[in-house]
Amino acid sequence: MNTAALPARVRRSRWIPWAFIGGFAIVLAANAAMVTFAITSFTGLTTTEPYTKGLRYNDQLRQSEAQQRLGWHIASAYRKTGALRGEIELKLTDRAGAALAGATVTARFERPVERGHDFTATLQSLGGGRYAAAAEFPLRGAWDVRYRIARDGAVLEARERLEIE
């Protein structure tokens, strides 16, 4: 047996354990970065009582059917009037296309991704079935608008999403 060849063979394979250690270090660093990103980007927004909301789904379907029987139609428009300001306008008509006057109209503006910035505006009648209100938004981005229209004991609820720039 040649003893001079043995140390050379050991020297050539010394990098193999370090390759495994380096590979594990890369995986651990990537996982640490992902965990850090997940923790710092979580908004904390969750659905409260998801089971109860799921059970009420049939109630929502019945409400939607009742609103369809009303035959009311909504045409909405948003007009930007300044930085983070605008005016929301609704035109309400009945099944025959006649203007709906005498309604109480509110709009609830909600951020879909964070809490604490929601607000409500009451739309004033402009005549001819038109209702409008000014809105000042605290933040840019997506806003869900929930309209509630009440007239003669009947209620119509609708929603849409606005993108505020």
Please give the CATH number for the structural domain made up of 50-164: 2.60.40.1930
What's the predicted TM-score (pTM) here? 0.66
Tell me the domain boundaries of the chain: 5-41, 50-164
Looking at residue 122, its pLDDT comes to 96
Contacts 24+ apart (CB under 8 A), 90-96: 90/123, 90/130, 90/131, 90/132, 90/147, 90/149, 91/128, 91/129, 91/130, 91/131, 92/129, 92/130, 92/131, 92/149, 93/129, 95/71
Q: 156: which residues sit within 8 A by CB, 6+ positions away?
A: 67, 70, 72, 74, 147, 148, 149, 150
**Nearest partner of 90 among 78, 108, 102, 72, judged by Cα:** 78
Residue 2 tokens, joined: 């040649």
| Low pLDDT (below 70) residues in the chain | 1-11, 44-46
Looking at residue 116, its pLDDT comes to 87
Residue 136: φ, ψ to 5°: -120, 120
